[in-house]
């Protein structure tokens, strides 16, 4: 019975005209685009939640928001447009996310710790680190420098280098800053996901192949008729 039903289904499908398949394909593409739009909106909401958690200062909230965003992105097809080197690029995923506030908090904690450590070090010039901070902090506020900005780092290392026996302190200062890569996330989504949009994408792909094969077959038959007439 199953074989007979399959044969009947194939025969019924074979009787569907190509223009009808094109109409079905257009309708499915519209549905697919709508589903992708919904997934993109959901991803944007989850990404906004990550940014909001980053501003609030709670590491636990940031971790939970990142987990939700990652799980959703890994299980859905998310098409996104990102800016890179002044150009707009289409990518599958969230695009780069920078936890700037969390980095600034961690960097400030590390700098304060380094300052306390430097104040206890035996140095004939006193607390070199604190002296450098007195010069560079006002400049950072004036110029809008973040803790990881090149201007702030150049200012600190330049001020520390003015004092003798400052190599160890300068090395300590650079070592205490957390790597910026730890605060950058970029989740990539699958091209075809195990969701409704993924199923629609597969059907669209199959219909496209069938229509293409029918078109090639039609072209071959037309050429054959031309040669037969000759």
Q: Please list the pLDDT of the chain residue by residue as tens digits (230 residues).
A: 444 455 554 455 556 687 888 899 999 999 999 999 999 999 999 999 999 999 887 889 999 999 999 999 999 999 988 877 777 788 899 988 989 888 878 877 777 776 666 555 555 455 666 677 778 878 887 887 766 667 777 787 777 777 655 455 555 555 567 777 888 899 999 998 888 999 999 999 999 998 888 888 878 777 776 766 55
Assign 3-class secondary structure to the chain.
CHHHHHHHHHHHHHCCCHHHHHHHHHHHHHHHHHHHHHHHHHHHHHHHHHHHHHHHCCHHHHHHHHHHHHHHHHHCCCEEEEEECCEEEEEEECCCEECHHHHHHHHHHHHHHHHHHHHHCCCCCCCHHHHHHHHHHHHHHHHCCCCCCHHHHHHHHHHHCCCCCCHHHHHHHHHHCCCHHHHEECCECCCCCCCHHHHHHHHHHHHHHHHHHHHHHHHHHHHHHHHHHC
Q: The whole model's pTM is what? A: 0.69
């Amino acid at each position: 019975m199953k074989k007979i039903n399959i044969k009947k289904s194939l025969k019924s499908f074979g009787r569907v005209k190509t223009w009808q398949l094109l109409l079905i394909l257009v309708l499915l593409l519209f549905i697919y685009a709508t589903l992708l739009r919904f997934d993109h909106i959901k991803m944007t909401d989850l990404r906004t939640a990550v940014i909001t958690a980053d501003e609030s200062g709670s590491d636990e909230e940031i971790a939970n928001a990142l987990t939700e965003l990652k799980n959703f992105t890994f299980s859905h097809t998310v098409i996104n447009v990102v800016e890179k080197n002044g150009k707009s690029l289409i990518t599958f995923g969230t695009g780069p996310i920078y936890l700037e506030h969390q980095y600034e908090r961690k960097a400030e904690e590390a700098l304060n710790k380094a300052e306390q450590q430097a104040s206890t070090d035996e140095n004939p010039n006193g607390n070199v680190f604190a002296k450098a901070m007195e010069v560079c902090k006002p400049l950072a506020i004036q110029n809008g420098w973040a803790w990881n900005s090149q201007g702030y780092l150049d200012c600190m290392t330049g001020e520390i280098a003015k004092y003798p026996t400052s190599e160890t302190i300068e090395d300590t200062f650079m070592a205490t800053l957390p790597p910026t890569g730890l605060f950058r996330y970029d989740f990539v989504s699958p091209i075809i996901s195990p969701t409704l949009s993924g199923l629609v994408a597969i059907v669209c792909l199959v219909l496209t192949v069938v229509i293409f094969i029918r078109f090639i077959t039609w072209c071959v038959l037309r050429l054959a008729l031309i040669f037969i007439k000759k």
